[in-house]
A and B are shown apart, each in its own frame.
Chain A
Amino acid sequence: MLGWELPPHHTGGLGVACYNIAKELALEGSSIDFVVPYKAPHPGSEFMTVHCATDLLPGSRFGLGVYDTPTFSTRPSKGVDADTNDINGVRDRYCKYVEKLAAKLHPDVIHAHDWLTMDAGICAKEITNAPLVVHVHATQFDQAGGKSGDPLIHEIEYNAMMMADRIVAVSQVTKNIIIDKYQIPADKIEVIHNSIDISSFNDSHKYDIETYKYLESLKSEGYTIILYLGRLTIQKGLTHLIKALARASEKYDKLVLLLAGEGEQRDDLIKVAAELGVSDKVFFANCFVHGKQVRDAYMVSDIFVMSSVSEPFGLTALEAAHYGNALIISKQSGVGEVLDSVLRYDFWDTDLLANQLVGIATSDALKKSLQQDVKTEYNRLSWHDVALSCLKMYKSLDGVTAS
């Protein structure tokens, strides 16, 4: 299995997903060799063999996270003495390491997660002739938020999807992008939805009423708190969300929106809110991921909106549900495919979103029903089922007999 990160050295959802899939596969009796591009111990991953492809430290990892791709330049690689301060250099090193390892291990299946590991997956396939599974958690199109994104990454993704024996998409949303943007035949792609590990929630967290004290006092005056949590980027559809808030406020005034996160779109969003005359209803909180302010944000809010223009899955929605929020999810977000107890809308349909916001804010019955019903639903999701789907898929591949 080829991945870019694993807990505790992860920066996003990819590491968590890889970890959980591998763990459940191991519990089903699979033997897994997992390659990461840095050197570090992985306590808690004893169920598999973790191979470190380089001597680099995980923390200082090439100055970027997995999905910060829009900001770096893709210089051509420099051969054997690749500069490991450059992401392509690291990719080269990773690729060579995987090539050698694969020749030694002769795996039954090569399972590569997202674009950074994809060319390594192709190399391993060429050497061993083992089937290649490409697991798409996010494409470059998702990262670029409506813009076309980096052409080199597109090419890497496209090549790997063409070479792959099977492609796993984390949602129908993602599958559709792979079909539409990469022209991959639909029958080559399997949708296996992500899951959530409920035990990973830090339930010992004690809500601190002081963190958002002003919001708390608004709440006590009957205000409904709407939360968005994540990066403030075009991909997240936040301009539409603010427009919907303004539209909703025409009908019902006691609404506020908390935007928790940071990103390059922040200043634009402040401007949009001002232009629409709702600046006093939009709160910007510059939260760090994993932080206490994040959990407090989930807890102070009533409604969580996932407003994304394109969201492969959207794990934060499930976290928000766990902390008792009613969910409104754009139809362009994959997580909505696994939940029935949510309201859905097209990301551009600000009137419908406004209608839903007012509806929840003015009906305790609707709010409570959504909040409670979605909890029973996500409790049914399990990584174990994800692993079983993967196993079933492995066994359908040519040349794979055992798990």
Chain B
Amino acid sequence: MSSSGGSKRGIVLYLHAHQPLRVRKYSIFDTAIKHDYFSEDEYDHDSDRNNEKVFRKVVDKSYRPMNALLEKMLAKHSDFKVSLSITGVFIEQAEKWAPDIIQTFQRMVKTGRVEIVSETYYHSLAFFYSMVEFEHQVAMHRKKIKELFGVDTKVFRNTELSYNDSMAKWADEYGFKGIMAEGWDPILQWRSPNYIYRPSGTDNTRLLLKNYRLSDDVAFRFSDRGWPEWPLNADKYNEWVNVALGDQNIVNLFMDYETFGEHQWKDTGIFDFYEAFIDKWLANSANTCYTVSEAIDAFEPAGEISMPHTVTWADTERDLTAWLGNRMQQEALRYIYSLEDDVIRTNDKNLINDWRKLQTSDHVYYMCTKWFNDGDVHAYFSPYDSPYDAFLSYMNIVRDIRWRLYSHRNTGGLGG
């Protein structure tokens, strides 16, 4: 192994902050008349499609208490570090409805111990449809992060932690020093996710692999009373991390920001658990925390890894089937991306923005029908009555976008 002597073994904590702009119940009788796709009617004001309502709720439950905890840890431990990705659609909503969250994020970044990770502004799957649009969204996000936090992003993660060799190649050429992916066993085989790797076909970029067992113990299983290890306490978890790491370099604990307070509610003890675990981990002077960039600087790659097929952090299949698995999802995205040239040509800022917001991956996630097979309805939360209803509203909006294009007289007709 070629790890640098002298570097402490560490955990790499990474949290992903995102809230989509859900589309409202949008009828064919709205098409060509109303263009307010993202604001639910008065009639349905209390529905979970009401973005403001959902955002305010989740900020109260998750972002405010978690940011307070992270700031507390930063003050308490000089070697506490964390990396965050915050989507553009999240930032826009926070600016409108919870500007204090932006301020606490800014204070955290100012400590120099919180790194912001790059991604697409719209939390989209554009990489798989249009490289031009994809790069534009990455650039938009970098620009927004620079404006708000005064920093340049150095490490890239794509939506849903989706990753493949060609994405790594792109990140390498773009100049990112690192890229993040799921440490999925069928790909890794005998190899451990607890090292830095070099993606196949790249020169300078490095690969960070999520330790999914230890990450998901917290993100998914923490409050599951049917789990044999329940209740999980900091001592036990600290022990697991120690054992898993052994004499290797890093444990990458990647999870959704909303694990804290939203997926696992406060009364499960998730906040206290996280704090106690960090305290215990850092109490051992052989241990430290790294941001994603620091981890890449601290260690040499242990080898090369190739993932020709796309791997994500989702479901047991670790693929994109929750977003692109059925015909409705494929159609919806095909339609929206086929409008790219016409939309961009209009130079209509509102139209282009709306079109980009419709690329957020959550829209097609709500059309997922996978769970009909395993009957696990609760695994796929959706604010719509059914995947079919989600598709109906979305398609009526696609038609409205076409209509707006037509009204610009820049396209041939409404047929798409």
Contacts and interface: CB of A to CB of B under 8 A. Distances in A.
A385 interface: no
B227 interface: no
Interface string A359-389: 1001111101110010011000000000000
Interface string B53-96: 00000000000000000000000000000000000000000000
Contacts of B327: 365, 368-369
A172 interface: no
B395 interface: yes
B236 to A, nearest CB: 39
Contacts of B386: 340-344
A355 B395 contact: no
Given A341-B372, A359-B28, A369 B388 contact: yes
Interface string A331-355: 0000000001111100000011011
A251 interface: yes
Contacts of A30: none
A31 to B, nearest CB: 34
A355 B331 CA distance: 19
A366 B389 contact: no
A53 interface: no
A358 B388 contact: no
A182 B391 CA distance: 40
Interface residues of B, number: 23
A352 B386 CA distance: 14
B393 to A, nearest CB: 9
Interface in A230-277: 247-248, 251-252
A356 interface: yes
A368 B332 CA distance: 14
B189 interface: no
A138 B255 CA distance: 51
A369 B28 contact: no
Contacts of A369: 326-328, 369, 387-388, 391
A343 B389 contact: yes
Interface string B339-378: 0000000000000000000000000000001001100010
B29 A376 contact: no
A365 B392 contact: no
Given A373-B369, A376-B373, A366 B385 contact: no
B28 A354 contact: yes
Nearest to B26: A355
B326 A355 contact: no
B388 A355 contact: no
Interface string B385-410: 11111011001100000000000000
B84 to A, nearest CB: 36
Contacts of B331: 363-365
Nearest to B369: A373
B4 interface: no
Given A365-B330, A366-B328, A377 B27 contact: no
B332 to A, nearest CB: 8
A366 B28 contact: no
B372 A355 contact: no
Given A359-B392, A369-B326, A373-B369, A344 B385 contact: yes
A354 B385 CA distance: 17
A351 B43 CA distance: 15
A103 B344 CA distance: 84
Nearest to B399: A362
Contacts of A373: 369, 372
B27 A352 contact: yes
Interface hub of A247, A251, A359, A365 (most chain B Cβ within 10 A):
A365
A381 to B, nearest CB: 13
Contact of B391 (A351, A358, A363): A363
A98 B385 CA distance: 47
Which bucket holds chain A's interface residue count? 20 to 34
Nearest to B371: A340
A373 B372 CA distance: 8
Contacts, number: 69
Contact of A341 (B29, B377, B388, B395): B388
A121 to B, nearest CB: 36
A175 to B, nearest CB: 21
B369 A351 contact: no
A355 B385 contact: no
A366 B29 contact: no
Interface hub of B27, B388, B391 (most chain A Cβ within 10 A):
B388
A343 B27 contact: no
A251 to B, nearest CB: 5
A256 to B, nearest CB: 18
A196 to B, nearest CB: 17
Contacts of A354: 28-29
B388 A370 contact: yes
Contacts of A368: 327
B395 A363 contact: yes
Contacts of B332: 365
Contacts of B328: 363, 365-366, 369
B369 A341 contact: yes
B363 to A, nearest CB: 14
Nearest to B331: A365
Contacts of A364: 331
B132 to A, nearest CB: 26
B372 A376 contact: yes
Contact of A251 (B28, B326, B373, B391): B28
Contacts of B372: 340-341, 373, 376-377
A342 B389 CA distance: 9
A366 B369 contact: no
A369 B387 CA distance: 10
A340 B389 CA distance: 11
Contacts of B377: 340
Interface in A97-140: none
B54 to A, nearest CB: 23
A334 B395 CA distance: 29
A344 B305 CA distance: 48
Interface string B22-64: 0000011101000000000000000000000000000000000
Contacts of B373: 376
Contacts of A252: 28
B43 to A, nearest CB: 12
A373 B391 CA distance: 15
Contacts of B388: 341-343, 366, 369-370
A355 B395 CA distance: 11
A274 B31 CA distance: 27
A359 B391 CA distance: 9
Interface of A: 247-248, 251-252, 340-344, 351-352, 354-356, 358-359, 362-366, 368-370, 373, 376-377
Given A369-B327, A373-B369, A376-B372, 17 more contacts: A251-B29, A251-B31, A252-B28, A342-B388, A343-B388, A343-B389, A352-B27, A354-B28, A356-B392, A362-B395, A365-B331, A365-B391, A366-B328, A366-B391, A366-B392, A370-B388, A377-B372
The 9 closest A-B pairs by CB, nearest first: A365-B331, A359-B392, A365-B327, A355-B27, A358-B28, A365-B328, A355-B28, A251-B28, A369-B328
Interface of B: 27-29, 31, 326-328, 330-332, 369, 372-373, 377, 385-389, 391-392, 395-396
9 contacts: A251-B31, A342-B388, A343-B386, A352-B27, A359-B28, A363-B331, A363-B391, A366-B395, A373-B372
